[in-house]
Amino acid sequence: MGRAAAPAAALLCSILAAACAAATTAATPRVATLPMAGVRPVTHIQGVSTDDVALATIAFVFERDFGFPPVTASVVFLSDRQSLEGELLAAGYDPVFARDAAARMRAVALHRRVLVNTAVLSSDWPARIGTLAHELVHCLQYELAGGRRGTSEQWLREGFAEWIALDLLRRIDGVASGAARRYLVDELSASRRSAAPRLDDMMTFRQWVDLSGRPEIAPHVQAVLTVDLLIDRHGVPTILDYFRSFAAREDPEGNFAAVFGQTRAAFEREADARLGLRR
């Protein structure tokens, strides 16, 4: 397992790519619960030796560096794709969507619960921490919205979760400063930008899962860089206010305009220009 800062391309491919799980023998899942009682966080990637230490470190950085409220969640380490699919079915997903999500996602976050397919979870610590941090940001999004998934926009949910995960890795020397952004820009440039999805096409989790099956475009990268523009302008606390707004009102466009001071359509035009997206 890698300990030192990982090369940006290998690390981000591992975190961002949608992987298919191979079938393995089902086993009793291991469950880790946050807050992590009796587990000391570390401040450098070299100190991470177990998933429990990784989770404690993520929670520590969330609170210390980003000002997040404490995250309460159970992280369920499942053995294979079939186990993940079964958990999604038990959570109320319809069978076809549960199958597709389990086939394309390494992990799925629910309210106070993260389901992880360990068959496709990287053994490289930076990538593994990035995946866990990403999913725990989704748990925070649920919590801020009053425990509901709600109608906050999926591109913003995903882009923010990945932005935080990458910045967390930078803070513990899991990825070199500036390397993540350079990789993201290169990946977007190499994609079929004329076919890049509009924000309207990335509104729901179902749409997001469907887009993950299209290798010629880079929706994950597009979402991170679009959220990066929002954070440049408004800061992380304002993004948290966006998710909080859904506790009181299920109005994606109205909440976006109220929090960020412009319509989503106007912002999208500016983001497209910054990212060089000409459809």
Give the amino acid at 177: S
Domains of the chain as residue ranges with CATH: 8-275 (1.10.390)
Which two tokens mark 148? 């509901």
* Total Cβ atoms within 10 A of residue 267: 19
Residue 3 has what pLDDT? Answer: 35
Which two tokens mark 136? 């725990």
* Total Cβ atoms within 10 A of residue 98: 20
Which two tokens mark 169? 């890795």
Burial of 134 (C-beta count, 10 Å sphere; 0-12/13-18/19+): buried
* Total Cβ atoms within 10 A of residue 133: 26
Torsion over CA: 56, 71, 156, 97 (sign): positive
3-state secondary structure of 183: helix
Residue 258 has what pLDDT? Answer: 98
- How far from the centroid of its chain's Cα atoms is residue 188's Cα? 18
Cα three-residue angle 272-214-81, rounded to 5 degrees = 125
Residue 15 has what pLDDT? Answer: 59
Residue 5 has what pLDDT? Answer: 43
Q: What is the DSSP letter of 76?
A: E
Residue 6 has what pLDDT? Answer: 46
d(CA 90, CA 37): 28
Please list, in sequence order, all residues whose beta carbon lies within 8 angstroms of the beta carbon of residue 165, skipping any fewer than 6 positions away: 15, 129, 130, 131, 133, 134, 137
d(CA 52, CA 67): 21
Cα three-residue angle 219-221-227, rounded to 5 degrees = 100
Residue 125 has what pLDDT? Answer: 97
Q: Are 26 and 72 in contact (CB under 8 A)?
A: no
d(CA 263, CA 259): 10
Residue 19 has what pLDDT? Answer: 39
| pLDDT, one tens digit for every residue, the chain (279 residues) | 333 344 455 566 555 554 333 334 457 899 999 999 999 999 999 999 999 999 999 999 999 999 999 999 999 999 999 999 999 999 999 999 999 999 999 999 999 999 999 999 999 999 999 999 999 999 999 999 999 988 999 999 999 999 999 999 999 999 999 999 999 999 999 999 999 999 999 999 999 999 988 999 999 999 999 999 999 999 999 999 999 999 999 999 999 999 999 999 999 999 999 999 987
Closest CA to 131 of 16, 217, 223, 239: 16
Q: How far is CA 212 from CA 25, 89, 101, 233, 278, in A?
A: 26, 20, 9, 28, 21
Which two tokens mark 227? 């959220």
Which two tokens mark 11? 């690390």
Closest CA to 99 of 72, 73, 81: 81
